[in-house]
């Protein structure tokens, strides 16, 4: 009223004054509207810990302004009087009114929400984000920072991190060091038991997951029960691993750099006896089986070899070799480098995340200075990733994702089709005293350009008798390169203009995989000292070239391109290898609907997935030859849906279904319907709970689900409803005389069966989730599954005249287990925070039905009722006391050899007086552990952080390779060599002087045929594979915000960590997790890392 009065008064007095008044007023308004002030400050929690990525914007308009950096700092220009909103997941929003004057070093404190755990957002099936408390299925998450270990293989960080995952690592070789892992164990004996793996909703393989850089990950989710996996249909029957990579956020560009350098060394090595012990035991092994045989090694040979070991002047390491093959081929340690650089940011219109990664893993093999190429293993990975989101409108978002993965491998030639180096096996199965690795040139070879590799004669002249591991290392190399390129275009459209709460999300993905390999090799020159070629007086020798001819060789062909028996060459020969390319096209479209009606929440999802895979070579996995059925496109179609209901955010009900189509089955069995239902109840939200128990048990949730899953990955045959008939398959028939007349025969590889259908699983899950004193979280789950329709070959009498097996769905497995998780988080002050984590997984699967003979009189031979994966073998009672007992016991006639005192005595289970296959029974436990567990703790005090994690497996057994550890015999692969003596064998074996019927190793022998009795699968070689490993220890220091600000960086952290630092196990011969000690050893690593953010 006062303003109006003054206005009227001014108009009456003077029109000119009125005009001036309006001019001044409007000018003031314009000036005030354009003037902004700068606000700077820091956002922290109630313990004064900075919070990064807090969204800051004008509250009423919803306009995004900026985000806090890694140290919680922000700067923003706004008009006075503006209300700024501060928001971050898990914290209460905060509103701040901007004053008229600029503000420096403003302190904003955000408080955690009371039920932050329940409101946690979790990525679930199809990439949907759900509030954790609304989930009724079994869904576990791993924070990406917990997957950071000093290794380039992500799969080696999974086991022991989360309940429900069971696995182990078998090899430490770079590029081939993936862990085998299973979600809730192995629940089928069918064709495929491993989980489905998706990266940004695109199905990939284990190798792709292994090479992911953890710095690119936003979330890592594991879907375990039917309710959680049904939307993926038949592809998710064995569980699902769902990985989401990072996207950009609104704010200025953030550059993050991670650099790591790692030293690795074997966790354990086989301990071998010295060469003198080797020769003495070789003599004993010869005589103990046939006293009339002369000792292979003379006293002079043993004496002078001892002088060689002592480096005495009278010793000669070329004439009396004592080769430490392991030390000659393998170094003690190696170095690995890793780097990642990513930049992210965005505005209201678009967000971006761009990343590049590099890792270089080196092996522990040695190089030779005379070679012009490297022989050590090297595995290099390059990755490029770009994720860009465009906000086309307020309701439309378009996203583009590009990912390129490039792997390159180089390593020594191998004695197998894969790239798994067998040099470790060779080094432990080659005599240390038969010949040296190489010779120094004699007078006739002073100008020789090639290496003079040592060897010995074979069965004839000009033939090479044995394998020289050193020559195998140096004579060439194999390479492979593979790459995966993926491009995804995704559209997210809100459809509120049609129905409020309706939205569409869909994408198209094109994926290309390419592979090729080749070898470069020369044929080594092998030499020996012939009889009379050594003058002991002058200590000089004369060499004889063994493989001067390419014919008549005992070991012709040999290993890889050009073997020990091939004529020697001084040049590398190039041999092209496998070339392959695979193209994938993936389409997914999804409709989501959600609506809240008072206390009621309803939701629905409909989804369709169509995938196609086309392989360039069309290789039949059984014959490894091109085949028409496998050259045709592979196609899968999945239609799935979900309906959900919630009442007062306390009671949740969810129904899922999948309707799958598979080209592998006949039209009448091509489609399968797999429904599930789940429910949960948050008991702690009830009034009776909040009134009396919430102070102790602050949160309590019960949930359960039951449903079906399907699996079409049940065998190698492409189309089960088609027979595989070859009209020119061999076995020709000839007619007439002279030139005659011949027609090819017909062969049948597979018979059609139109009744073959889906492997089907009925799965139940029940769980309790509780939080005690707001800091101790417990999750306990019990699950059970019956997997039926497992494909098996039927037992059909040979009198039927069938040429191939007939397969149908007859197998059945029943499995059950427990998942337990216990986590503790507590902040004792603004400076000190501690955390504890532990998890436990138990899984057991039993054959309910297995196609096998009835075994009415020998029920112990049945697999039905035994544990899936449990080996069968003989029960070893002890060693025979003497030859008399061996002769009067039930007949053991393995390999036509009669046992003697000190050989293994087996139990005659059926009492028929002889040991045969009918006496084999289930022994031990599966090689896949039934129990996996992990526990660890971390603490952060001011700028320092310290953490550790243990991981272990239990209830697992494995067979020691009896032939592999048997001294002097040729290995099972047939490569000529004489196995060395393990120190454990030398310390405790049966002999005439040590007639211990429970000795570690039975009576010696020099030939596998002679000791066949002792090589049978039995409890004698069965060992527990239980272990507990210190998986990770890490110490880090983060630069204080004040110092970082002066250095013009956002954040800097330096850290040291180590993995696989020690192992506790009753098994001592080698690393118990590896099970096979004659392969490339697992690695212990020590790492130094630097993480800088700008």
For 918-930, b/e burial (b = at least 16 CB within 10 A) is bbbbbbbbbbbbb
Closest CA to 245 of 218, 215, 284: 218
Res. 39: pLDDT tops 70: yes
Query: With contact defined as beta carbons under 8 Å apart, do 831 and 787 qualify?
Result: no
- Supply the pLDDT for residue 550: 45
Res. 502: pLDDT tops 90: yes
Q: Sorting pLDDT into bands at 50, 70 and 90, what band is 976?
A: low
Query: With contact defined as beta carbons under 8 Å apart, do 245 and 218 qualify?
Result: yes
Res. 813: pLDDT tops 70: yes
What the block records as the tokens of 491 is: 């559209």
User: Each residue of 327-383: pLDDT tens digit?
Assistant: 999 999 999 999 999 999 998 899 999 999 999 999 999 988 778 888 899 999 999
Res. 776: pLDDT tops 50: yes
Q: Please compute the mean of the pLDDT values over residues 1039-1064 and round it to a whole number.
A: 91
Lowest mean pLDDT among 66-70, 335-339, 409-413, 428-432: 66-70
Q: What is the chain's mean pLDDT, rounded?
A: 88
What the block records as the tokens of 251 is: 């704010």
User: Each residue of 181-208: pLDDT tens digit?
Assistant: 999 999 999 888 899 999 999 999 999 9
What the block records as the tokens of 500 is: 């409020």
- Supply the pLDDT for residue 60: 58
- Supply the pLDDT for residue 974: 53
Res. 26: pLDDT tops 60: no
Q: Which domains does the chain show, CATH number per domain? A: 2-109 (2.60.40.10), 121-260 (2.170.130.10)
- Supply the pLDDT for residue 453: 94
CA distance 888 to 880: 11
Q: Sorting pLDDT into bands at 50, 70 and 90, what band is 34?
A: very low
Q: Report helix, strand or coil for 609.
A: strand
Q: Sorting pLDDT into bands at 50, 70 and 90, what band is 556?
A: very low
- Supply the pLDDT for residue 1084: 96
1017 by Cβ neighbours in 10 Å (0-12 / 13-18 / 19+) ranks as middle
Q: Please compute the mean of the pLDDT values over residues 118-139 and round it to a whole number.
A: 86
Instruction: Name the percent of the chain lying above pLDDT 70.
Output: 92
Query: With contact defined as beta carbons under 8 Å apart, do 622 and 548 qualify?
Result: no
- Supply the pLDDT for residue 981: 96
Q: Please compute the mean of the pLDDT values over residues 135-148 and round it to a whole number.
A: 93
Q: Please compute the mean of the pLDDT values over residues 70-77 and round it to a whole number.
A: 83
- Supply the pLDDT for residue 462: 59
At a CB cut-off of 8 Å and minimum separation 6, what does 734 contact?
740, 741, 742
Which of the pair, 703 or 717, is modelled with greater confidence?
Answer: 703
Res. 669: pLDDT tops 50: yes
Q: Report helix, strand or coil for 825.
A: strand
Q: Sorting pLDDT into bands at 50, 70 and 90, what band is 15?
A: very low
Res. 564: pLDDT tops 50: no
Which of the pair, 507 or 577, is modelled with greater confidence?
Answer: 507
User: Each residue of 207-220: pLDDT tens digit?
Assistant: 999 999 999 999 99
Q: Please compute the mean of the pLDDT values over residues 747-771 and round it to a whole number.
A: 92
Q: Please compute the mean of the pLDDT values over residues 722-743 and round it to a whole number.
A: 77
For 548-557, b/e burial (b = at least 16 CB within 10 A) is eeeeebbbbe
CA angle centred on 1075, ends 1070 and 1079, rounded to 5°: 75
Q: Please compute the mean of the pLDDT values over residues 127-133 and round it to a whole number.
A: 89
For 293-332, b/e burial (b = at least 16 CB within 10 A) is eeeebeeeebebbbbbeeeeeebbbbbbbbbebbeebbee
Residue with tokens 């049904």: 230
User: Each residue of 635-648: pLDDT tens digit?
Assistant: 889 999 999 999 99
CA distance 1030 to 1086: 13
């Amino acid at each position: 009223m006062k303003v109006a009065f003054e206005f009227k008064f001014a108009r009456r007095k003077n029109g000119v004054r009125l005009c001036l008044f309006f001019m001044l007023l409007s000018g003031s308004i314009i000036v005030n509207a354009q003037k902004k002030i700068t606000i700077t400050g820091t956002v922290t929690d109630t313990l004064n810990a900075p919070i990064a990525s807090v969204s800051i914007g004008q509250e009423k308009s919803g306009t995004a302004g900026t985000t806090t950096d890694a140290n919680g700092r922000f700067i923003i220009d706004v008009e006075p009087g503006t209300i700024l909103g501060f928001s971050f997941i898990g914290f209460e929003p905060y509103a701040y009114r901007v004053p008229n004057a600029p503000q420096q070093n403003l302190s904003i404190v955000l408080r955690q929400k009371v039920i932050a755990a329940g409101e946690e957002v979790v990525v679930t099936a199809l990439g949907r984000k759900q509030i954790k408390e609304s989930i009724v299925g079994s869904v576990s998450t791993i924070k990406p920072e917990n997957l950071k270990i000093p290794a380039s293989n992500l799969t080696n960080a999974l086991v022991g991190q989360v309940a429900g995952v069971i696995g182990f690592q078998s090899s430490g070789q770079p590029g081939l060091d993936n862990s085998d892992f299973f979600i809730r164990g192995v629940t089928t004996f069918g064709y495929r038991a491993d989980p489905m793996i998706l990266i940004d909703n695109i199905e990939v393989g284990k190798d792709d997951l292994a090479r992911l850089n953890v710095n690119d990950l936003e979330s890592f989710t594991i879907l375990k029960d039917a309710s959680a996996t049904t939307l993926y249909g038949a592809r998710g029957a064995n569980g699902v691993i769902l990985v989401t990579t990072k996207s950009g956020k609104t704010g200025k560009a953030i550059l993050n750099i991670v650099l790591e350098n790692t030293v690795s060394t074997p966790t354990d090595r086989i301990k071998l006896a010295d060469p003198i012990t080797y020769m003495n035991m070789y003599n004993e092994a010869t005589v103990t089986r046939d006293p009339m045989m002369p000792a292979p090694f003379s006293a002079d040979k043993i004496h002078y070899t001892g002088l060689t070991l002592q480096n005495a002047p009278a010793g000669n390491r070329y004439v009396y070799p004592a080769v430490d093959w392991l030390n000659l081929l393998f170094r003690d340690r190696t170095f690995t480098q890793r780097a990642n650089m990513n930049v992210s940011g965005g505005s209201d219109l678009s967000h971006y995340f761009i990343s590049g990664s590099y890792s270089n893993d080196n092996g522990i093999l040695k190089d030779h200075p005379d070679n012009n190429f490297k022989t050590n293993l090297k595995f290099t990975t390059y990755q490029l990733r770009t994720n860009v989101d465009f906000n086309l409108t307020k309701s439309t978002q378009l996203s583009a994702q590009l990912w390129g993965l490039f792997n390159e491998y180089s390593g020594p030639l191998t004695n197998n089709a894969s790239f798994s180096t067998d040099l470790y096996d060779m080094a432990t199965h080659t005599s240390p005293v038969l010949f040296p690795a190489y010779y120094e040139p004699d007078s006739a070879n002073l100008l020789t350009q090639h290496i003079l590799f040592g060897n010995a004669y074979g069965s004839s002249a000009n033939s090479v008798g044995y394998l020289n591991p050193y020559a195998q290392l140096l004579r060439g190399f194999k390479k492979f390169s593979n790459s995966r390129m993926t491009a995804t275009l995704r559209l997210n459209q809100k459809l509120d203009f049609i129905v409020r709460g309706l939205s569409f999300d869909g994408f198209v993905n094109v994926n290309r995989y390419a592979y090729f390999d080749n070898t470069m090799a020369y044929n080594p020159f092998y030499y020996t000292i012939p009889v009379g070629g050594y003058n002991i007086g002058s200590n000089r020798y004369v060499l004889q070239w063994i493989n001067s001819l390419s014919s008549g060789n005992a070991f012709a062909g040999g290993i890889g391109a050009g073997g020990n028996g091939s004529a020697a060459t001084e040049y590398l020969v190039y041999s092209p290898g496998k070339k392959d390319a695979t193209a994938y096209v993936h389409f997914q479209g999804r409709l989501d609907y959600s609506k809240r009606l008072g206390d009621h929440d309803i939701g629905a999802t409909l989804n369709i997935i169509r995938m196609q895979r086309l392989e360039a070579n069309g290789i039949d996995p059984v014959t490894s030859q091109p085949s028409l059925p496998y050259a045709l496109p592979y196609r899968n179609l999945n239609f799935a849906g979900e309906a959900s209901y919630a009442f007062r955010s306390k009671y949740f009900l969810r129904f899922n279904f999948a309707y799958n189509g598979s080209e592998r089955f006949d039209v009448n069995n091509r489609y399968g319907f797999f429904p599930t239902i789940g429910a949960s109840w948050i008991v702690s939200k009830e009034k009776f709970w909040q009134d009396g128990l919430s102070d102790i048990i602050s949160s309590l949730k019960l949930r359960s689900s039951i449903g079906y899953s399907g699996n079409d990955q049940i065998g190698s045959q492409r189309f089960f409803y088609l027979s595989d008939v070859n009209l020119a398959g061999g076995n020709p028939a000839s007619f007439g005389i002279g030139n005659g007349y011949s027609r090819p025969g017909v062969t049948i590889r597979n018979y059609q069966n139109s009744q073959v259908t889906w492997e089907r699983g009925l799965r139940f899950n029940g769980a309790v989730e509780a939080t005690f004193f707001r800091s101790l979280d417990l999750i306990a789950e019990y699950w059970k599954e019956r997997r039926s329709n497992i494909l098996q070959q039927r037992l059909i009498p040979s009198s039927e005249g069938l040429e191939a097996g007939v397969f149908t769905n007859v197998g059945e497995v029943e499995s059950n287990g427990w998942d337990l998780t216990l986590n503790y988080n507590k902040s004792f002050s603004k400076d000190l925070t501690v955390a504890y984590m532990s998890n436990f997984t138990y899984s057991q699967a039993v054959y309910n039905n297995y196609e096998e003979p009835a075994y009415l009189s020998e029920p112990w031979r049945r697999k039905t009722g035994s544990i899936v994966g449990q080996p069968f073998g003989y029960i070893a009672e002890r060693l025979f006391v003497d030859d008399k007992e061996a002769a009067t016991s039930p007949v053991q006639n393995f390999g036509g050899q009669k046992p003697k005192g000190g050989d293994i005595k087996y139990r005659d289970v059926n009492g028929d007086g002889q040991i045969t296959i009918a006496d084999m029974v289930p022994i031990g436990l599966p090689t896949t552990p039934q129990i996996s567990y992990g526990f660890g703790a971390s603490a952060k005090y001011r700028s320092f952080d310290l953490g550790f994690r243990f991981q272990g497996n239990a209830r697992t057994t494995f067979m020691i390779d009896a032939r592999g550890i048997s001294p002097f015999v040729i290995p099972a692969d047939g490569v000529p060599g004489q196995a060395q003596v393990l120190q454990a064998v030398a310390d405790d074996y049966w002999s005439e002087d040590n007639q211990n019927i429970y000795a570690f190793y039975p009576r010696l022998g020099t030939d596998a045929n002679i000791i066949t009795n002792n090589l049978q699968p039995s409890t004698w070689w069965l060992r527990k594979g239980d272990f507990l490993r210190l998986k990770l220890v890490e110490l880090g220091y983060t630069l204080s915000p004040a110092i970082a600000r002066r250095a013009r960086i956002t954040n800097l952290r330096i850290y040291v960590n180590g993995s696989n630092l020690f192992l506790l196990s009753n098994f001592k011969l080698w690393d118990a997790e590896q099970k096979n000690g004659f392969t490339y050893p697992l690695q212990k690593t020590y790492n130094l890392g630097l993480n800088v953010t700008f």
